[in-house]
Chains A and B, each alone.
Chain A
């Protein structure tokens, strides 16, 4: 941080904590006006799309799950659905239900990690969950218990919680017995209490007054809160099949970051994916008691204050626990754990709802099932420009604050998105340049 004679103040933060990956933030202030904001991602490109070329189409789920240790299920599911789309296969019944249960596990685990370990310390004034745990042990223990039930679901459905191994194109290598799923029921009933307490608890936090007129983009499925399937819709009238994604969205290279910026065509505008977008576009798909819990926590049917995303995540955890209970109680094992999928030359598309938002995959394969081309657009790439827009608006409202305060609030604003920079480059330093 420095103050120059001409009114320039420069604030540099070399490491933004509690996000996944390596990056930096640059904020330029001239004459007490915000001039520039850049989210810089240093984490090197990981070239997963190039690594997929030449591999068998059945390998994509296990290769892409390595992109992220927090949301591997999302990568597996988008890859699997894209391959099935390509080969003209639709998986229904118990296998579809198992996939949804699998996704519930990831939402519970990932969201709970962010709510309690990464984001809540911001609102309660602690540098980390460890410091917070000394004063709020009951909250942290609640978070750990909830996270564990998410892990348990992933373990059961797919072998392990990090980089699971049981999901495949066409279904699963092994489908669990009813008795195995039933063993989770008591834990989930307890988790439901914890999840409801989490929604109530997040509603007691103090949020900065800040609203944004977002373009929300998420999946929408007519009959359920979206996870694996749906059309891509927005609050501005977009309603397209996933296969039309490339016609409406575009990845752009930006010189100061290793992650591609994804924008909406034709204006090149930012848009918002993630829990707030899902919630705004699918509130009617939530059960009435969960809608009531959301309202009691201070949420309307649309939330435009990104700091309240912690409450929206909590609502999604409650929903995922409820949904997992429903699936377990009605589960009847499939006759076969998977259906046979034969390769067919062509291009397939899928988007599923990763915890951080829409995750788009596109693959082209040949008649032998060899991947010729792949494109993966993770949620943090899509939110990157939106995060910059949020910072541009938000920092402008707090220029009278000290540089330390601006830094603290900016980091908090970035964490509203639970950015996964490893996914987007597949890290974060903050630098404020003030004149």
Chain B
């Protein structure tokens, strides 16, 4: 549970190639965020995910996806208005992962008022600690996009 206004959640596994994308984005955002904005890394465990965004006005989820699109393609979804497409819902433990956490929270009326999803198509999810070239490029683009969507660092939220 958080008392922060905006929470940026980077989801992934740092040791599975491009799956580390969300973790690495929030690692680089850390220390560059204005007051009232926090970022955390998260493994995507649904119960813990739903718990950690309670109290936040706005949540941004950043995750690598595997939908069959070209590697590095950046997807945007307004989860307050729509569900994640089905092709993003295949990879989770016991078929219970991030998409199910989102839909469960929606059914329980526990979605944050504003919740956005930034997904980047991964190329390789094998064991390893490096991002593929397309995702290295996408990482910079997503960091810039997130920072540009926020107030300057020294301002404060209402």
Chain A interfacial positions (CB closer than 8 Å to B):
17-20, 69-70, 113-114, 117-118, 128-131, 133-134, 137, 140-141, 144, 147-148, 151, 160-162, 420
Q: Are A20 and B104 in contact (CB under 8 A)?
A: no
**Most central of A113, A140, A160 by chain B CB within 10 Å:** A113
B104 with A69: CB separation less than 8 A: no
Closest chain A CB from B153 CB (angstroms): 30
Tell me which residues from 47 to 84 in chain B have a Cβ below 8 Å from any Cβ of chain A.
47-48, 50-51
**Which label, helix, strand, loop or mixed, suits the secondary structure of the B interface?**
helix
Map CB proximity to A onto B67-111 as digits: 1 under 8 Å, 0 otherwise: 000000000000000000000000001111000100110111100
Q: How far is the CB of B141 from chain A (nearest CB, A)?
A: 29
Contact check, A20 vs B93: say whether CB atoms are below 8 A apart.
yes
Query: Nearest CB to that of B44 among chain A residues?
Result: A162
With A18-B94, A20-B93, A129-B100 known to touch, is A144 a contact of B107 (CB < 8 Å)? no
10 inter-chain pairs at a CB distance below 8 angstroms, sorted by A residue, are A18-B94, A114-B94, A117-B94, A117-B96, A131-B107, A133-B107, A134-B107, A140-B108, A161-B45, A162-B43
Which A residues touch B47, using CB under 8 A?
144, 147-148, 151
**A130 touching B48 by the CB < 8 A rule?**
no
Knowing A151-B47, A161-B48, say if A118 contacts B94 (CB, 8 Å).
yes
Q: Is the CB of B107 within 8 A of A137?
A: yes
Residue pair B96, A113 in contact (C-beta under 8 Å): yes
Q: When the two chains form their complex, are residues A141 and B108 in contact, meaning their CB atoms are under 8 A apart?
A: yes
Q: B residues touching A (Cβ–Cβ < 8 Å)?
A: 43, 45, 47-48, 50-51, 93-96, 100, 103-104, 106-109
In the complex, how many angstroms separate the beta carbon of B51 from the nearest chain A beta carbon? Answer: 6
A38–B47 CA distance with the chains assembled, in angstroms: 34
Contact A160 B43 (CB under 8 A): yes
A148 to B108, CA, bound (A): 16
Q: Given the complex of chains A and B, what is the CA–CA distance between A118 and B104 in angstroms?
A: 13
- Let me know if B94 and A113 touch, CB within 8 A: yes
> Lowest 10 CB-CB distances: which A-B pairs, in order?
A133-B107, A130-B103, A69-B93, A147-B47, A20-B94, A134-B107, A144-B47, A148-B47, A162-B43, A137-B108
Q: Are B94 and A70 in contact (CB under 8 A)?
A: yes
Alpha-carbon distance A131/B106, docked complex (angstroms): 11
Chain A hits for B100, CB < 8 A = 117, 128-130
Residue in B closest to A21 when the chains form the complex, CB atoms:
B94
- On whether A148 and B51 interact (CB within 8 A), knowing A140-B108, A162-B43, the answer reads yes
List residues of chain A with CB within 8 A of the CB of B50.
144
How far is B58's CA from A162's CA once the two chains are assembled, in angstroms? 26
Residues of chain B within 8 A (CB-CB) of A147 are 47
Report which residue of A19, A131, A144, A148 has the largest number of chain B beta carbons within 10 angstroms of its beta carbon. A144
Whether A118 lies near B96 (C-beta < 8 A) is yes
Closest Cβ–Cβ distance, residue A122 to chain B (whole Å): 14
- A160–B94 alpha-carbon span in the complex (Å): 18
Min distance, Cβ B129 to any Cβ of chain A, angstroms: 15
Residue of A nearest to B93 (CB): A69
**Shortest distance between the CB of B19 and any CB in chain A (Å):** 13
A18 to chain B: closest residue by CB: B95
Q: A144-B50, A151-B47, A161-B48 are in contact. Are A19 and B104 (CB under 8 A)?
A: no
